[in-house]
Chain A
Amino acid sequence: MSATGLSLDVARELRAVCGEDYARERPAGGVYVSPGSAEEVAAILKLANQHHLSVAPAGGSTEQSAALMRPNILLHLNRLTQVEHYDHADLTVGVGAGTTVAQLNTLVGADRLLFACDPPLPERATVGGILATASHGPLRHGYGALRDFCIGIHFVTGDGRRAKGGGRVVKNVAGYDLMKLLIGSYGTLAVITSASFKLFPAPRQTRTFLAEFATAKEALEFRDRVMRSPLSPMCLELVSPGARKQMRPEVTDDAWVMCLRAAGSDTVLARYRKELGSVITKELEGESESRMWRAVQDYPIPDALKAEATIVGEFPRINLTVPLNKVAQAIEAVNQYAKPGWMGVAMVGRVGVGHLMATNWPDDVETCMHPDMLGEYLRGCLPDLGSLTVDGLANPWCGAPGNEPSLRAVKQALDPNNVLRGRVIF
């Protein structure tokens, strides 16, 4: 064994798979590899199984910092950026897992199409990474989640089998829906190597309407009114007073803001104005509109730090989803958990789908973010809690996710030797 914990033979074999330039020892231990193809990914996983090594896949390090990960093999997918298929008239695209969301947007944006997932830090976030973590942004409200528009996926299972699910067409029920299984599996079942997506026509014109409220309850009543109306906004986001102050330091009041983004012609937008009425305090368009949504999308990462690879742990974010009528209760529970009386927790949420993201914890953040405590507390307060995840945690689901025997059966089927043990989920 060398100082890295890997035998020289294994290191040599990895270099033989990826080439000298793409396999190197990490100062912290283990080997960093950057394969150039799905075949190479499969060869690496087979080697790992043979030698009982752990492998952790990594993308843009926006959810978890690769620098802090300590697997035997850190598998970076950054070289898998090929476009596998793209015909703008079919409204579908397939790209390698290392493609960033920004690259994908540039590709399809040229044809006035939209890739409808806008996760934090799109210049760094990769297709493989957002799938593995089921990431989303404000567009989640109007266009659905990745599980709704990822139509095909290529991957290598933990035991080294190259396989796929789905295909390239928007409607397809042949075989098991492996996209669903891998989306949100945090790289514990397989390494995603490429994926295909359904695209949408990009809106030709949008406006954003802001409404301010004294309490979260009133803001959520506005949400309910919008959802019972015939309007179908692209985005419907709640921004808490704390989050708003961080995004716009000049603001001094404590308003909860609902941000509604609508697409359509002048006539359609006029209808939005009419339906929403006098509750609207501000209307944004153009640059200021884009800036506002970008701030919400990336929140809470400050602009100056967006290019850094190791920032994630410094801004721990929890994401949760509850049924629509439990969002108020979830806000209350998060505040209570942070510290009774501490109102500094900042929240942003796709509240039209029952989502809430909370950050800006008090100083004793270590205790606060203890996954088991957090999970137990929130599950206790919110019996209908759907998902609960904390960025960057070894156990992103904050304790046992339930249905353990079924989850273990799936894990055993795809990664029997537990090679993909970067995230401890059971």
Chain B
Amino acid sequence: MQLSAVVEQLRKIAGRDAVLDRPEDLMLYEYDAGVRKCTPAAVVFPQNTEQVAEIMRLAKRAEFPLVARGAGTGLSGGAIAPEGGVVVAFARMNRILEVDADNMRAVVQPGVVNQQLSENVAHLGLYFAPDPSSQKACTIGGNVAENSGGPHTLMYGVTVNHVTGLTVVLPSGEVVHFGGKAAESNGYDLTGFLVGSEGTVGIVTEVTVRLLRRPERIATLLGIFETIDDGAKTVSAITAAGITPAALEMLDGWTLRAVEEACHAGYPLDAGAVLLIELDGLAEQVEEQAEAVREVCLQQRAREVRRAKDDNERALLWKGRKNAFAALGRLAPSYYSQDGVVPRTKIPAVLEFIGSVSKKYGLRIGNIFHAGDGNLHPLILFDPRDPHQLELVQAAGAEILEWCVAAGGSITGEHGVGLEKRNLMPLLFTDDDLDVMLSLRNAFNAAGVLNPGKLFPTTRMCRETMGPSSNPVLQSEGM
């Protein structure tokens, strides 16, 4: 089928104004928050599940690949279209379908923005716990695809711990419902399996999420340390004291100075590192824990421990943390962020290693991360106009991830594998591990219509069908 015919069909399904195919429009959909790019052949904006199913059936018939996209805030290239692929964008499926306060559930369309869901249920004393730093923009559908985390996942878990049901359009075009409002359901846990499958198994069109009750009290502490090593050692000292904070974040001195200049969050300019520690729950318990955390920090040679006096101060401290990536963006034309994980006792050692990688490659690397669960975010600054720099940056990133894996960790804690880390998968997984995952993908998506080329390494796998992306017609039209 010609591209023009595909576009016409898509318009018939979703409406005349629901398809983009002009190059200047498509440019907006060629990237996410990572470093890869590819212009899609077209973008379609379905308004309901049935339209998604029709689009899927069309893709199967006309043999072009599909990729679902939320807000494009992903960091691993998960929503980047393959050559000749069509983006299914969820901007028009952004309704909260039901808030069921009795059962502490909400049913939402995938295009609902993460933070809007929490704002929408705030009057009921409820909220949605996963809170990626991009929560002002990122969508629940994207969170489901990537199994996103955030600072507060230390205590409350990642997206999969907060999803109990899904409506899914399978690559066959069939619409299925997995799970529901109950905490558990019969059969294999396909809800759990779908979350984090990076759009390679099905397209989610409705999500039933768990809502939590807002805590009675929140204490936000800022532990200020002279050296990054003291800060790092404090992380496991806090958990060793029997305390699980709601969030436990770390910023190194260099990063916090950049953040302070950009956001005026109230961070000290001369510190070696800070820990941002949040405790929440019953008032009495929070007060006791706040005191205990303060003591641990001081024992670990904190210079000072401050506590946010009110919601404003608290919001400011978090603003600094959540806008840190953007703040560092002021220092260089671009940055490359990773999210390797180490066992939390290895944090001091991995920070030392990152320092040596920075020296070796002559690259500036800032550290700002979810310290409580060992989830790093080394931010490597570079200039993308210099192709040599990008190569160096990727090599430095790969070295850091190799170190994480050797220390018993992982290549990604919350960003997903996508395009970016697919060829690092063999660091973690054997051929048999990957083969088992691939046989599961192929059980649903054998032809590779959905998000081909993601998650699985291109270097070793011979069984992955790369999808019908080699469709000569779509390519001959310059797509």
Given the known interface contacts A163-B432, A177-B193, A406-B190, the answer about A267 and B284 at a Cβ–Cβ threshold of 8 Å is yes
Q: List 28 A-B contacts (CB under 8 A).
A: A89-B236, A89-B240, A89-B344, A91-B239, A112-B242, A163-B432, A167-B408, A167-B409, A169-B374, A169-B408, A169-B409, A171-B414, A172-B410, A173-B146, A174-B417, A174-B425, A175-B429, A175-B434, A176-B197, A177-B195, A179-B192, A184-B188, A265-B285, A384-B181, A387-B182, A387-B185, A401-B186, A406-B178
B86 within 8 A of A: no
With beta carbons under 8 angstroms apart, the residue of B149, B188, B281, B455 that contacts A410 is B188
Chain A positions 289 through 330: 1 when the CB is less than 8 Å from some CB of chain B, otherwise 0: 000000000000000000000000000000001111100000
Inter-chain CA distance A230–B213, complex, in Å, is: 8
Q: Within the assembled complex, what's the spacing in Å between the Cα atoms of A163 and B177? A: 28
**Interface stretch among A48-56, A140-148, A211-219?**
A140-148
| Alpha-carbon distance between A163 and B193 when the two chains are bound, in angstroms | 16
**In the complex, are the beta carbons of B186 and A388 less than 8 A apart?**
yes
Question: With A204-B242, A268-B288 in contact, do A85 and B408 touch (Cβ < 8 Å)?
Answer: yes
Residues in chain A near residue B184, CB distance under 8 A: 134, 145, 184, 321, 355, 386-387
Is the CB of A185 closer than 8 A to any CB of chain B?
yes
Q: Which of A91, A172, A183: most chain B Cβ within 10 A?
A: A172
Interface check A392, CB cutoff 8 A: no
Output the least CB separation between A119 and chain B (Å). 14
Given A181-B189, A268-B284: A162 and B432 interface contact (C-beta under 8 Å): yes
**Is B220's beta carbon under 8 Å from chain A?**
no
Q: How far is the CA of A177 from the CA of B479 in the complex (A)?
A: 34
Query: Nearest-CB distance from B183 to chain A (Å)?
Result: 5
> In chain A, residues 393-410, which have Cβ atoms closer than 8 Å to a Cβ of chain B?
397-398, 401-403, 405-407, 409-410
Interface residue B5 (Cβ < 8 Å from any Cβ of A):
no
With A175-B429, A230-B281 in contact, do A389 and B186 touch (Cβ < 8 Å)?
Answer: yes
Name the A residues within 8 Å of B187 (CB-CB).
397, 401-403, 407
| B280: min CB distance to chain A, Å | 10
Q: A164: CB under 8 A from chain B?
A: yes
Q: Is B15 positioned at the interface, with any CB of A under 8 Å from its CB?
A: no
- For window 32-78 of B, CB contacts with A under 8 Å fall at none
Given contacts A91-B239, A201-B239, contact A384 B428 (CB under 8 A): no
- A contact residues around B455 at 8 Å (CB): 175
Residue numbers of A with Cβ under 8 A of B are 85, 87, 89-92, 112, 134, 144-145, 147-148, 157, 161-165, 167-181, 183-185, 189, 200-202, 204, 227-228, 230-232, 264-265, 267-268, 270-271, 321-325, 353-355, 384-389, 397-398, 401-403, 405-407, 409-410, 412-414
B189 touches A184 (CB 8 A): yes
Task: Tell me how far the C-beta of B257 lies from the nearest C-beta in chain A, rounded to whole angstroms.
Answer: 27
Minimal Cβ-Cβ distance residue in A for B164: A386
- Inter-chain contacts of B414 with A (CB < 8 A): 171, 173
**Cβ contact of A325, chosen from B103, B415, B425, B439, cutoff 8 A:** B103
| Nearest CB of A to B457, in Å | 11
Complex CA gap A232/B174 in Å reads 41
- Contacts A148-B161, A406-B176, A414-B440 given; indicate if A173 touches B412 (C-beta within 8 A): yes
Residues of B within 8 A of A410 (CB): 188, 190, 193, 440, 443
Interface residue ranges of B397-456 to A (CB < 8 Å): 408-417, 421, 425, 428-430, 432-437, 439-444, 455
Interface string of B111-145 (1 = CB under 8 A from A): 00000000000000100000000000000000000
A169 near B182: Cβ-Cβ < 8 Å: no
- Asked if B9 is at the interface (CB within 8 A of a chain A CB), the reply is no
Known: A230-B215, A230-B283, A353-B183. A177 touches B147 (CB 8 A): yes
Q: How far is the CB of A108 from chain B (nearest CB, A)?
A: 13
Residues of B within 8 A of A (CB): 100, 102-105, 125, 146-147, 149, 153, 157-158, 160-161, 170, 174, 176-193, 195-197, 213, 215-216, 236, 239-240, 242-244, 281-285, 288, 341-345, 370, 373-375, 408-417, 421, 425, 428-430, 432-437, 439-444, 455
Known: A163-B436, A265-B284. 9 other contacts (CB 8 A): A144-B157, A173-B417, A176-B196, A177-B192, A177-B195, A181-B440, A204-B242, A230-B283, A386-B181
* Nearest chain B residue, comparing its CB with the CB of A402: B187
Q: Which residue of A lies closest to B370 (CB)?
A: A171
Shortest Cβ distance from B237 into A: residue: A89
Interface contact A407-B436, CB-CB below 8 Å: no
CA distance A405 to B178 in the complex (A): 12
Given contacts A169-B343, A172-B410, contact A385 B192 (CB under 8 A): no
Measured CA separation A147–B125 after assembly (Å): 26
Q: B425, A268: Cβ atoms under 8 Å?
A: no
Q: Is there an interface contact between B282 and A271, defined as CB atoms closer than 8 Å?
A: yes
**Is the CB–CB distance between B186 and A161 below 8 Å?**
no
Asked whether, in the complex, the Cβ of B428 is within 8 Å of the Cβ of A175, the reply is: yes
Q: Which residue of A lies closest to B342 (CB)?
A: A169
Q: Which residues of B contact A270 (CB under 8 A)?
A: 284
Q: Which residue of A lies closest to B215 (CB)?
A: A230
Shortest beta-carbon contacts, A-B, top 7: A386-B182, A180-B192, A401-B187, A230-B216, A401-B186, A201-B242, A409-B443
List of B residues within 8 angstroms of A414 by Cβ: 436, 439-440
A164 vs B455: C-alpha distance in the bound complex, in angstroms?
16
Question: Which chain B positions have C-beta within 8 A of A268?
Answer: 282, 284-285, 288
Which of these, B105, B157, B180, B440, contacts A176 with CB under 8 Å? B440
The answer to whether B160 and A177 touch across the interface, beta carbons within 8 angstroms, is yes
How far, in whole Å, are A85 and B55 apart by their CA atoms in the complex?
Answer: 47
Least CB distance from A125 to B in Å reads 18
The answer to whether A386 and B239 touch across the interface, beta carbons within 8 angstroms, is no
Q: Which chain B residues lie closer than 8 Å to A200 at the CB level?
A: 244
Contact B437 A175 (CB under 8 A): yes
Q: Given A147-B189, A264-B285, do A167 and B440 touch, yes or no (CB 8 Å)? A: no
Q: Bound complex: CA of A168 vs CA of B184, how far in Å? A: 25
Q: Which residue of A lies closest to B243 (CB)?
A: A201
Q: How near does chain B come to A87, taking the closest CB pair, in angstroms?
A: 6
Complex: A409 Cα to B153 Cα, angstroms: 32
Set of chain B residues within 8 Å of A189, measured between Cβ atoms: 188
When distances are taken between beta carbons in the complex, the residues of chain A under 8 Å from B412 are 172-174
A403 near B176: Cβ-Cβ < 8 Å: yes
- Given contact pairs A171-B158, A397-B186, A227 touches B373 in the complex (Cβ within 8 A): no
Bound form: Cα–Cα A167–B415 in Å: 16
Most buried by B among A85, A324, A402, A403: A403
From B103, which residue of chain A is reached at the shortest CB distance? A323
A173 touches B158 (CB 8 A): yes
CB within 8 A of A386: which of B185, B411, B433?
B185
**Contact present for B343 and A183 (CB under 8 Å):** no
Bound complex: CA of A179 vs CA of B193, how far in Å? 8
Cross-chain contact B188 with A171 (CB below 8 angstroms): no
A residues within 8 A CB of B341?
169, 171-172
Would you give the shortest CB distance from A362 to chain B, in whole angstroms? 25
